[in-house]
Amino acid sequence: MSGRTWLRNEEGMTLIELMAYSLLLVVVIAVAGGMIIASLRGQQTITQLSNSTSTGQDVAQSIVKGIRNSSSAAVTSGAAGTMLSARTGTFVAAGTATWQCRAWLYTTTTQQLWSTSSSAAITLPASATSLSGWSLIASNVTVPSGSPAVFARGSSSPFSVTLAMKVGVASGGGRPMLVNTVVTPQTLPTTTGSGPATC
Protein backbone atom coordinates (compact mmCIF):
# COMPACT_ATOMS: atom_id res chain seq x y z
CA MET A 1 0.00 0.00 0.00
CA SER A 2 1.17 3.47 -0.78
CA GLY A 3 0.07 5.15 2.39
CA ARG A 4 -2.05 7.74 0.60
CA THR A 5 -5.86 7.52 0.88
CA TRP A 6 -8.17 9.48 -1.40
CA LEU A 7 -11.43 10.66 0.09
CA ARG A 8 -14.34 10.97 -2.32
CA ASN A 9 -15.42 14.45 -1.14
CA GLU A 10 -11.96 15.92 -1.76
CA GLU A 11 -11.95 15.23 -5.46
CA GLY A 12 -13.48 18.66 -6.45
CA MET A 13 -15.16 19.47 -9.78
CA THR A 14 -13.89 18.35 -13.09
CA LEU A 15 -13.50 20.71 -16.01
CA ILE A 16 -16.45 19.06 -17.78
CA GLU A 17 -18.74 19.65 -14.80
CA LEU A 18 -17.66 23.29 -14.58
CA MET A 19 -18.38 23.82 -18.30
CA ALA A 20 -21.81 22.16 -17.96
CA TYR A 21 -22.76 24.41 -15.03
CA SER A 22 -21.53 27.48 -16.91
CA LEU A 23 -23.56 26.54 -19.99
CA LEU A 24 -26.66 26.04 -17.86
CA LEU A 25 -26.13 29.47 -16.27
CA VAL A 26 -25.79 31.10 -19.72
CA VAL A 27 -29.05 29.47 -20.87
CA VAL A 28 -30.91 30.72 -17.78
CA ILE A 29 -29.54 34.25 -18.24
CA ALA A 30 -30.45 34.26 -21.95
CA VAL A 31 -34.04 33.16 -21.24
CA ALA A 32 -34.45 35.75 -18.46
CA GLY A 33 -32.92 38.49 -20.63
CA GLY A 34 -35.22 37.62 -23.53
CA MET A 35 -38.24 37.86 -21.28
CA ILE A 36 -37.13 41.24 -19.93
CA ILE A 37 -36.52 42.62 -23.45
CA ALA A 38 -39.92 41.35 -24.65
CA SER A 39 -41.70 42.96 -21.71
CA LEU A 40 -39.91 46.29 -22.30
CA ARG A 41 -40.94 46.25 -25.97
CA GLY A 42 -44.51 45.46 -24.96
CA GLN A 43 -44.50 48.29 -22.45
CA GLN A 44 -43.21 50.71 -25.11
CA THR A 45 -45.99 49.68 -27.50
CA ILE A 46 -48.64 50.11 -24.81
CA THR A 47 -47.26 53.54 -23.85
CA GLN A 48 -47.32 54.70 -27.49
CA LEU A 49 -50.86 53.44 -27.97
CA SER A 50 -51.95 55.09 -24.73
CA ASN A 51 -50.39 58.41 -25.81
CA SER A 52 -52.04 58.38 -29.24
CA THR A 53 -55.38 57.37 -27.71
CA SER A 54 -55.20 60.15 -25.14
CA THR A 55 -54.30 62.76 -27.77
CA GLY A 56 -57.00 61.49 -30.13
CA GLN A 57 -59.62 61.69 -27.39
CA ASP A 58 -58.55 65.24 -26.48
CA VAL A 59 -58.78 66.32 -30.13
CA ALA A 60 -62.16 64.68 -30.67
CA GLN A 61 -63.55 66.11 -27.42
CA SER A 62 -62.40 69.63 -28.32
CA ILE A 63 -64.00 69.56 -31.76
CA VAL A 64 -67.17 67.68 -30.76
CA LYS A 65 -67.83 70.03 -27.84
CA GLY A 66 -67.34 73.05 -30.09
CA ILE A 67 -69.63 71.77 -32.83
CA ARG A 68 -72.32 70.53 -30.42
CA ASN A 69 -72.57 74.06 -28.95
CA SER A 70 -72.45 75.89 -32.28
CA SER A 71 -75.02 77.73 -34.36
CA SER A 72 -73.00 77.51 -37.59
CA ALA A 73 -69.86 75.92 -39.00
CA ALA A 74 -67.81 76.16 -42.18
CA VAL A 75 -64.91 74.30 -43.74
CA THR A 76 -62.39 76.24 -45.86
CA SER A 77 -59.18 75.15 -47.54
CA GLY A 78 -56.10 77.02 -48.68
CA ALA A 79 -52.31 77.00 -48.70
CA ALA A 80 -52.15 76.58 -44.90
CA GLY A 81 -54.44 73.54 -44.92
CA THR A 82 -58.07 72.84 -44.06
CA MET A 83 -59.86 74.91 -41.43
CA LEU A 84 -63.07 74.11 -39.56
CA SER A 85 -64.59 77.22 -38.00
CA ALA A 86 -67.68 77.45 -35.80
CA ARG A 87 -69.69 80.01 -33.88
CA THR A 88 -69.84 78.38 -30.46
CA GLY A 89 -71.94 79.43 -27.50
CA THR A 90 -71.65 79.32 -23.76
CA PHE A 91 -75.05 79.34 -22.12
CA VAL A 92 -75.18 80.90 -18.67
CA ALA A 93 -78.96 80.91 -18.21
CA ALA A 94 -82.03 80.13 -20.27
CA GLY A 95 -82.13 82.56 -23.17
CA THR A 96 -78.67 84.04 -22.45
CA ALA A 97 -75.60 83.13 -24.48
CA THR A 98 -72.07 84.35 -24.99
CA TRP A 99 -70.75 83.58 -28.48
CA GLN A 100 -67.22 83.24 -29.78
CA CYS A 101 -65.56 81.98 -32.91
CA ARG A 102 -63.51 78.76 -32.65
CA ALA A 103 -61.43 77.20 -35.36
CA TRP A 104 -59.37 74.06 -35.89
CA LEU A 105 -56.74 73.96 -38.62
CA TYR A 106 -55.21 70.84 -40.16
CA THR A 107 -51.90 71.64 -41.84
CA THR A 108 -51.31 69.05 -44.55
CA THR A 109 -47.60 69.84 -44.96
CA THR A 110 -46.70 69.40 -41.29
CA GLN A 111 -49.54 66.97 -40.41
CA GLN A 112 -50.49 69.00 -37.35
CA LEU A 113 -53.79 70.09 -35.83
CA TRP A 114 -54.08 73.60 -34.41
CA SER A 115 -56.84 75.43 -32.52
CA THR A 116 -57.75 79.03 -31.76
CA SER A 117 -60.68 81.11 -30.56
CA SER A 118 -61.61 84.76 -30.98
CA SER A 119 -64.38 87.26 -30.34
CA ALA A 120 -64.32 88.04 -34.08
CA ALA A 121 -64.38 85.98 -37.27
CA ILE A 122 -61.29 83.80 -37.84
CA THR A 123 -59.69 83.73 -41.27
CA LEU A 124 -57.65 80.94 -42.78
CA PRO A 125 -53.93 81.68 -42.30
CA ALA A 126 -51.89 82.46 -45.41
CA SER A 127 -49.49 79.57 -44.78
CA ALA A 128 -48.73 76.79 -42.32
CA THR A 129 -45.87 78.90 -40.91
CA SER A 130 -47.99 81.97 -40.07
CA LEU A 131 -49.87 80.54 -37.09
CA SER A 132 -49.48 83.30 -34.52
CA GLY A 133 -52.30 82.98 -31.99
CA TRP A 134 -52.93 79.31 -32.76
CA SER A 135 -52.24 76.48 -30.27
CA LEU A 136 -50.87 73.11 -31.37
CA ILE A 137 -53.16 70.33 -30.13
CA ALA A 138 -51.84 67.29 -32.05
CA SER A 139 -48.97 66.21 -34.27
CA ASN A 140 -48.68 63.26 -36.66
CA VAL A 141 -52.27 63.63 -37.81
CA THR A 142 -53.10 62.00 -41.14
CA VAL A 143 -56.18 61.51 -43.28
CA PRO A 144 -57.31 57.85 -43.25
CA SER A 145 -57.40 56.08 -46.59
CA GLY A 146 -60.82 56.39 -48.19
CA SER A 147 -61.57 59.74 -46.52
CA PRO A 148 -61.42 62.90 -48.63
CA ALA A 149 -60.41 65.28 -45.80
CA VAL A 150 -60.01 65.66 -42.06
CA PHE A 151 -63.08 67.94 -41.88
CA ALA A 152 -66.19 67.87 -44.06
CA ARG A 153 -69.40 69.82 -43.55
CA GLY A 154 -72.71 68.25 -44.49
CA SER A 155 -75.16 70.39 -46.43
CA SER A 156 -78.36 69.17 -44.81
CA SER A 157 -80.24 71.10 -42.15
CA PRO A 158 -79.28 70.95 -39.36
CA PHE A 159 -75.72 70.84 -40.57
CA SER A 160 -73.28 68.12 -39.59
CA VAL A 161 -69.50 67.91 -39.50
CA THR A 162 -67.61 64.73 -40.33
CA LEU A 163 -64.26 64.19 -38.61
CA ALA A 164 -61.88 61.65 -40.15
CA MET A 165 -58.28 61.53 -38.91
CA LYS A 166 -55.59 59.27 -37.55
CA VAL A 167 -53.72 60.66 -34.57
CA GLY A 168 -50.28 59.05 -34.23
CA VAL A 169 -47.43 59.07 -31.77
CA ALA A 170 -44.48 61.43 -31.95
CA SER A 171 -41.74 58.84 -32.42
CA GLY A 172 -41.06 55.15 -32.62
CA GLY A 173 -43.95 54.18 -34.83
CA GLY A 174 -46.86 52.66 -32.96
CA ARG A 175 -50.48 52.50 -33.93
CA PRO A 176 -52.39 55.73 -34.52
CA MET A 177 -55.84 56.28 -33.06
CA LEU A 178 -58.62 56.56 -35.63
CA VAL A 179 -61.14 59.35 -35.07
CA ASN A 180 -64.07 58.91 -37.45
CA THR A 181 -67.38 60.46 -36.41
CA VAL A 182 -70.20 62.73 -37.51
CA VAL A 183 -71.15 65.58 -35.19
CA THR A 184 -74.39 67.56 -35.28
CA PRO A 185 -75.19 70.58 -33.12
CA GLN A 186 -77.58 70.18 -30.24
CA THR A 187 -80.79 72.17 -30.10
CA LEU A 188 -79.67 75.50 -28.73
CA PRO A 189 -81.82 77.54 -26.32
CA THR A 190 -80.99 80.68 -28.26
CA THR A 191 -78.85 81.89 -31.15
CA THR A 192 -78.71 85.47 -29.90
CA GLY A 193 -76.63 87.03 -27.18
CA SER A 194 -73.30 88.79 -26.85
CA GLY A 195 -70.43 88.09 -29.21
CA PRO A 196 -70.05 87.80 -32.99
CA ALA A 197 -73.18 87.27 -35.09
CA THR A 198 -71.25 85.15 -37.61
CA CYS A 199 -67.88 83.44 -37.79
Count of the separate structural domains present in the chain = 1
Q: Does residue 64 lie within any of the structural domains?
A: yes
Whether the per-residue pLDDT at 15 is higher than 50: the answer is yes
DSSP structure string for 112-140: EEEEEEESS--PPPSSTT--TT-EEEEES
Q: Does residue 146 lie within any of the structural domains?
A: yes
Q: Does residue 2 lie within any of the structural domains?
A: no
Q: What is the residue range of 165's domain?
A: 36-183
Q: Report cis status (omega within 30 of 0) of the bond before 189.
A: no
Q: Does residue 13 lie within any of the structural domains?
A: no
Q: Rounded mean pLDDT of 8-14? A: 67
Q: What integer pLDDT is reported at residue 22 of this predicted model?
A: 92
pTM for this model (two decimals):
0.74
Q: Does residue 1 lie within any of the structural domains?
A: no
